[in-house]
Amino acid sequence: MSSASTRTTDAGTVAPPRTNVVVSVLAMAGIVVALMQTLVIPLIPELPRLLDATTSDASWVITATLLSAAVATPTVGRLGDMYGKRRMLLVSLILLVAGSVIGALSNTLAPMIVGRVLQGLAAGVIPLGISIMRDELPAERLGAATALMSASLGVGGALGLPTAALLAEYTDWHVLFWASALLGALAAALVFTLVPESRVRTGGRFDLVGAIGLSIALICLLLAVSKGADWGWTSGLTTTLFVVTAVVLAGWGWWELRNRQPLVDLRTTLRRQVLLTNLASAVFGFSMFAMSLVLPQLLQLPTATGYGLGQPMMTVGLVMAPSGLVMMAMAPVSARISRLRGPRTTLMVGAVVVAAGYGLSIVLMSALWQLMLISSIIGAGIGIAYGAMPALVMSAVPVSETAAANSLNTLMRSIGTSLSSAVAGVVLAQLTITVGTAAVPSQNGFRVVMAIGAGAALAAAVIAAFLPRRRPGAPPSGTPERPAPAEVAS
């Protein structure tokens, strides 16, 4: 984000975009990118054999995407504000296609990791899409549209699992990546053809030092969090990574506060509304991972455990899929609550619904219909809350910093989810039972993880309660007016 004065490109006499078309295309692009999160899940047990690698090395197929997404999200957001959000969205989709093609042609670990890195670099599509909506859509459509775009992250993840499982079971595994490349190319073509370039740009000089510093800090943090269990939480490597993260973040903050055109405008980020929204987003992201970690394991564990349901991956996908549809259905509900009561209330309602879902799961985890009900309730809460987060951020930052601010908010959710994964992994590793010769997570371990998820969701609701109130029906405070077409200057 930058404090540079806003410049805009020449709008000319281009007709205003068709709102429904723009929203549909951007949401479709968001869903395609979200599919990358679940693309390889059905392949995880087979990756060492498929790629002729050890189990530890094969795990980098997942970790590489996590790291590249964390690096790309804030950087692409800032570049979008500077040089055009649609332009950077297209670059992201092209990288996704390239990564998918490389993955489809891979039979060994190294090229697969390269492909997954490129796929992760497309993570900025959703915050960029939300920012384009802010620039281009009429105010009365913005709430529902951004709620739908924000929910596309969960929708793609939920719908991608059964689709990927189906393809992995009945076709060659490379088809997963060819399908991803085809969908990415279709999304890029539709964006190029139907989505206008945002008129608002900041210009200025890109903060390369800030981008490198933040990337180093994020890579060290996420490596320590994702690999700490394998390396040992008190090992020299894990400890060193945490120390480097702290030192680099301190130096990065010092640089950003003194740079006239920073990657992240920390003064804006420290505003009460932005700070609390990002904090609530991180805590809410922490709560979300419990569902995607616990429910698939409960469904797949053998019935000999006494609580596992012994279902194949395909059934897991079908049980989880309704949650994605519910997220999408909740987008207009989220927008309506925000319109009547403000996005602060919407975020609180969504967090409480998620907490209720986790609370029910502690006692309802013994049948397929129960787990489908739980995932749908949690999905409803996520759909409601996700629509509020971009609204809260955008109402507190200048229009010229929209993409960078949304990208940072998305990054905070991802960091929360990564931390949740580590905590849940530790809990499930400690609370186990023995089935035959194998140690598997106990039912109490799953209950503890779900209880942690409920507590994190309630904590997000409490944080949201301290956000500034907005009078129902009032326009979001702090949102600069969009330039009228006649006022746009090159």
User: Residue 201 domain-assigned?
Assistant: no
Which domain CATH number covers 154? 1.20.1250.20
Q: Render pLDDT for 373-417 as a digit per residue (tens, 0 to 9).
A: 998 999 899 989 988 888 888 888 887 778 888 888 888 888 888
* pLDDT at res. 377: 93
Whether residues 65 and 186 share a domain: the answer is yes
* pLDDT at res. 87: 92
User: Residue 251 domain-assigned?
Assistant: yes
Q: Is 262 left (phi over 0), alpha (psi -120 to 50) or beta?
A: beta
* pLDDT at res. 118: 94
User: Residue 202 domain-assigned?
Assistant: no
User: Residue 2 domain-assigned?
Assistant: no
337, 147 in Cβ contact below 8 A? no
46 SS3 class: helix
* pLDDT at res. 15: 42
Whether residues 116 and 156 share a domain: the answer is yes
How is 268-326 classified by DSSP, letter by letter?
HHTSHHHHHHHHHHHHHHHHHHHHHHHHHHHHHS-GGGSS-----HHHHHHHHHHHHHH
* pLDDT at res. 470: 61
Tokens standing for residue 106? 């891979």
Q: CA 354, CA 281: separation in Å to the nearest integer?
A: 13
Distances in Å between the Cα of 92 and the Cα atoms of 6, 20, 69, 178 are 24, 23, 11, 17
User: Residue 160 domain-assigned?
Assistant: yes
* pLDDT at res. 13: 39
Helical segments of 343-488, H only: 343-361, 368-394, 402-430, 443-465
Whether residues 336 and 429 share a domain: the answer is yes
Whether residues 175 and 318 share a domain: the answer is no
Query: The whole model's pTM is what?
Result: 0.82
In whole angstroms, what separates CA 256 from the centre of its chain?
25
307, 386 in Cβ contact below 8 A? no
Q: Render pLDDT for 111-166 as a digit per residue (tens, 0 to 9).
A: 999 999 999 999 889 889 888 888 888 877 888 888 888 777 777 777 777 778 77
DSSP 395: T
List the chain residues with pLDDT less than 50: 1-16, 472-490
Whether residues 149 and 248 share a domain: the answer is no
